[in-house]
Amino acid sequence: MTKIISCVNLKGGVGKTTLAVNFAAYCGGENLKTLLIDLDPQTNATFSCLTIDEWKTHAKTHGSVADLLGARNHTSAEGTKKEAKSVIKKDVFPNVDLIPSHLDLFTVDLDLAGVAGRERRLKKAIKPIQDQYDIIVCDCPPNLTIPTQNSLAVSTHYVVPISPDYLSTIGVGILLSRIKTLSEDLDNEPEHAGIVISRVGRYAIHREETVAAMRQIFKKDVLSTVIHDRVAVSEATAKQKSVFDWTNEQAKDEFRSASKEILKRIGITK
């Protein structure tokens, strides 16, 4: 069965997109046929794989995830629905395909207000192509609105990236509780695959104390791997490359280690 994993957090700037993109790239490098779905209207995962011009051309000719969710029905002169197979951008990384995002998702909650089954549109859209992939990685926006609900409604697992600062960590327990309640309402309960500590800066006592507190509270839910904030990661993103195609060996090692842990937790490897 295809594993579908959502990267979720209610706070931005915690390394969620960076993890989603590089985890997908790692999976592709391990010969796992991978689909990356960008559900964030900020389109950061999309621009980590495509240039702006490539994205504009693809969105115009093939569409985006906004079409699959129905956020762009009002802009379609012909009124026809896009299919997932036509929206996919092939081989953005080796063995990795992409369903790009679009700015139209900013208004998707208004566009779909009162629409029946709006939380399950992604599940319905990718059903015809789902079995073509070993793993599907969903990058969610920093909220629990319609795009995130669609992601959780189709997911088998989810991970929570956090940065080791006070504001990022105090809400983790609340987030996990909200996801559990929402998943029950959606009649799909993805397994929690772990908390990933990322965007770690220079050594500071308060950061070390925060990480220690997280490990004490959430125990085995916290991955052993810690991902540091590195300029090389941003440089790779700006060139539409994964860290595995860049020059920083420490970044490669960290994302490789985190990816291995996640794959083990979701049952793809032992």
- Please give the pLDDT value at position 201: 67
247 within some domain: yes
15 within some domain: yes
Q: What is the CATH number of the domain that holds 172?
A: 3.40.50.300
Between helices 231-238 and 249-265, what is the axis angle to 10°? 80
235 within some domain: yes
Q: What is the pLDDT of residues 62-94, one digit of tens each?
A: 999 999 999 866 455 555 678 999 999 999 999
Query: CA nearest 153: which of 186, 176, 129?
Result: 186
238 within some domain: yes
Query: In this structure, what token pair is assigned to residue 18?
Result: 């960076």
- Please give the pLDDT value at position 12: 85
Q: In what order do the strands lie in the sheet with 3-7?
A: 89-93, 96-99, 34-38, 135-139, 3-7, 157-162, 191-200, 222-228
Q: Is the pLDDT of residue 16 over 80?
A: yes
The separation between CA 53 and the C-alpha centre of its own chain, rounded to angstroms, equals 22
Helix (H, G, I), strand (E, B) or coil at 192: strand
Q: What is the pLDDT of residues 86-138, one digit of tens each?
A: 999 999 999 999 999 999 999 899 889 888 899 999 999 999 999 999 999 99
- Please give the pLDDT value at position 72: 63
The count of domains in the chain is 1
58 within some domain: yes
- Please give the pLDDT value at position 210: 83
Q: What is the pLDDT of residues 155-211, one digit of tens each?
A: 999 999 998 877 667 788 889 999 999 999 999 999 999 999 998 866 566 778 888
257 within some domain: yes
Check: CB of residue 97 under 8 Å from CB of residue 45.
no
Q: Is the pLDDT of residue 259 over 70?
A: yes
- Please give the pLDDT value at position 149: 96
Phi first, then psi, for residue 30 (nearest 5°) are: -95, 20
Task: Tell me how long the chain is.
Answer: 270
70 within some domain: yes
- Please give the pLDDT value at position 165: 77
Enumerate the β-bridge partners of residue 97.
35
Enumerate the β-bridge partners of residue 5.
137, 157
270 within some domain: no
Of 14-28, 32-46, 160-174, 213-227, the range with the lowest mean pLDDT is 160-174
Separation CA 35–CA 28 (nearest Å): 9
pTM for the structure as a whole = 0.94
- Please give the pLDDT value at position 203: 58
Residues 150, 151, 152, CA angle at the centre, nearest 5°? 95
Query: In this structure, what token pair is assigned to residue 120?
Result: 């399950």
- In the chain, % of residues over pLDDT 70: 94
Domain enclosing residue 188, as ranges: 3-265
